[in-house]
Chains A and B, each alone.
Chain A
Amino acid sequence: MSFLIRQTLIFAVPLMIVALAGVFAERSGIINLALEGIMIVGAFVGVLVVHMMQKNEIFVRIIENGVLQNWGQLQLFMLIAMLIAGVAGAVFSLLLAFASINLKADQTIGGTALNMMAPALVLFLVRIIARQNELRMFSGDAASWFMIKKTMLGFSKETSNFFVDTFLDKVYLTTYLCIILFVVLSVILYKTRFGLRLRACGENPQAADSLGINVYRMRYAGVTISGALAGIGGFVYALTTANCMANGDVAGFGFLALAVMIFGNWKPLNIACAALLFGLFKCIAAASSTLDINGDGVFMLLEISKDPTWGKVLNANFYRLLPYLISLLVLAFTSKKSRAPKAEGIPYDKGSR
């Protein structure tokens, strides 16, 4: 059970933070279809930063003195990489902002262009840097360095209870940081003047403009925050679920985050719940053959998939299908109730009536 909850959190956090990225863009009136592409860029830049730090032997002294004693410093380096990934995502998203705000281009095509550009650009550079199709964080240990274990936090190896096992052992700092970020940004969106103005630009930009709000600037802010969050989400994805490597692909997480956003009806609390649900599905899909839910040493889902009758349906392929199928069904059943920001997708023109 601890394993399931831990893994679900790991899958849910990037979805959650990227879905919030979508909210910031759409609430300001810009459809950000480029989330997937921005995640890819964020993942690449984050991995590249760690790669270069390792190559230039910045970590060496820390490793020599023992990972266990100096895990705090390692976490600091990881935070730097995450921040840079966020900045990269924000810069990349400016392409979308420029096209859709200044040039009033079609936002869907602009987003698609970014989605095509990101993997191409990343793979082009990865192939030149690493001479293969994936860039790793230089040495294979990175994942375990950045993982927090209970012994680091002062628990003995023998300590074993539900809380420690689930939330303090083999976890990543990014999980908790992203949750805090999610809460803080949600509060900003709903409880501050800035948030209100941003949302106004997505509902009725003309009215917002007549009250002296600079719609273009607010939309730039929305898209930039969105890009930064998606970049961070991409780095978190690379660090926690993609074996610390960048290969120009985030396995459709960006698109799934869009579905989470719509499922969550553009509201943070609903999005958090939706992300947990989708995280659970993704977790089952990824770990269906090694998932031991009740801790009795039996991999239940694996056993089911071996069953001659049930196994035809309930196998790894089915679990892979599940998140997308459910997204589609959810879209179908909630479409009548879903309430998208009114002005999303419509370029703001000061002169129009």
Chain B
Amino acid sequence: MKDWGYNIGSSFSRVGGGLRSFLSKEGTRSVLATVISILAGLIAGAVLMLIVGLSSENLGGKSAWEGIRIIFGGLFSTGRDAEGALSFGFNSVNMGDMLFRATPLILCGLSVAVAFKTGLFNIGASGQYLAGTTATLFIALSIPQTAMPTWIIWLLAFMGGMLAGALWGAIPGMLKAFLNINEVLACIMTNWIAATLTTWVFDMSNLKNVTEGTKSAYIYKTSFNGVQTPKMGLDKLFPDSQVNGGIIIAIVIAVIVYIVLTKTTFGFELRACGANRHAAHYAGMKDRRNIVLSMAFAGALAGAAASLYWLSGNTEFYWTGAYQSLPSEGFNGIAVALLGASNPIATIFTGIFMSTLSISGLQLRNLTAFNEYITDVIIAVIVYLSAFSLLIKSLLGGKHRRIRVVDTPPPAEAVVNDSGSKPTEATTGKGDEE
């Protein structure tokens, strides 16, 4: 649990020619390792479907083949044609829904990525997501429309969601920083506490949907109070889908997170703590404060994920069962962050990939005898492979390399060397791999 900082981002300093030096670049190898993980995951899913299809008398090889085609091209599925064969083409509903679902995934991925950068494993994104859900829905539904313009309510609800997520994330952060409790365990416990508290809070609230008899287990949609994320013209682009401006906000947030992490002192301190907490402490950084802030930052992002998801106005929260299961966005965020090598910009693309996969899963359920859970299997395989992505990377490099963290900022290195202590693996400079 020491070096989470293997999130290798950018080392494009050398300009090399030929495949060998192309492959030896860190960036290239990161991307290739990601692509290999994705392909291996997809192939594992396909093989599983083939086995299940062939071994079951009512499925057979043909339906397995259909399932495999949907796994790879579900985004472009347009249902079945007159003869009953699968047809593919541009599908604006799939495309728009994909972008809608990508919004929370990107933000949860960012949440996990920010924590990774500080050397923390934020498995608590689910709990922070629930905290954001509760705060957002409460603010969006309990301020009457007549009191203020709805866009102010929207803004308050969004801010409230982020704040609630930040506070919830700060709890495991503080336990880690001051009591040295493993943040993974603290996050797991706070996840379940958040789940029960969410049910409890809504149980006492008057936001339960009482106007529609069949929806008593749900909370009102935020559009019930007229609060809704603006579409920003995306509904024209992808008619009939659930897409809204949330995806644009998510991308803007990803860019902001990238800038904060790489261009500001705060971001630098976070990464320095992730690379070597003790060195950062020795350099005069407040490592404990940074751990708490990093978890709060991560929590705010997960809270924003929840806010944007529920403020879309077309989703309903199932409060009665909230205590029984944790939202999957938080766990899929781990996959998004790992696949994107914790790079905020890469997170946008891996988030979109993950939501493409979930659209494929839906198509699979609607069009074939298989179901959407196969996509979760694929995601799990990808996370499993990410666990030893370093190995894949070193295999790609051709020769055996020492596993090092490259992305450490130079000043920390200077500080460590100045202090006369033995340079650690994390800080032995950038250029020594040749």
- By a beta-carbon cutoff of 8 Å, the part of chain A in contact with chain B is 31, 33, 95, 99, 103-110, 112-117, 119-121, 123-125, 127-128, 248-249, 251-252, 255, 258-259, 262, 312, 317-318, 320-321, 324-325, 327-328, 331-332, 335-336, 345-346
Contact = CB atoms under 8 A, between A and B. Distances in A.
A121 B49 CA distance: 11
A109 B383 contact: yes
A262 B186 CA distance: 12
B184 A124 contact: no
Contact of A251 (B2, B204, B324, B384): B324
Contact of B371 (A124, A249, A312, A321): A124
B203 interface: yes
Contacts of A252: 188, 192
Given A33-B184, A123-B373, A251-B324, A99 B192 contact: no
Contacts of B391: 103-105
Interface string B376-396: 110111011011100100000
B380 A113 contact: yes
Contacts of B324: 249, 251
A98 B383 CA distance: 15
Contacts of B121: 108-109
Given A121-B377, A128-B56, A328 B189 contact: yes
Q: Would you list the 10 A-B pairs with minimal beta carbon distance, nearest first?
A: A120-B376, A117-B380, A113-B384, A105-B388, A317-B200, A124-B373, A116-B380, A105-B387, A113-B383, A109-B387
B193 A104 contact: no
B369 interface: yes
B387 A328 contact: no
Contacts of A259: 185, 189
Contacts of B128: none
A104 B388 contact: yes
Contacts of A112: 123, 331, 334, 383
B196 A320 contact: yes
5 contacts: A103-B387, A112-B123, A113-B383, A128-B369, A331-B189
Contacts of A116: 331, 334-335, 376, 379-380, 383
B190 interface: yes
Interface stretch (B173-181, B218-226, B285-293): B173-181
Nearest to A124: B373
A325 B193 contact: yes
Residue from B56, B180, B181, B380 with most neighbouring chain A CB atoms (10 Å) = B380
B192 to A, nearest CB: 4
Residue from A31, A112, A115 with most neighbouring chain B CB atoms (10 Å) = A112
B192 A324 contact: yes
Contact of A110 (B179, B181, B374, B384): B384
Nearest to A318: B200
A124 B377 contact: yes
Residue from A95, A324, A332 with most neighbouring chain B CB atoms (10 Å) = A324
A125 B59 CA distance: 13
B186 A331 contact: yes
Given A109-B338, A123-B373, A335-B181, A324 B193 contact: yes
Contacts of A107: 1
A117 B185 contact: no
A325 to B, nearest CB: 6
B193 A119 contact: no
Nearest to A322: B196
A123 B331 CA distance: 17
Nearest to A106: B387
Contacts of B123: 112
Contact of A324 (B196, B379, B381): B196
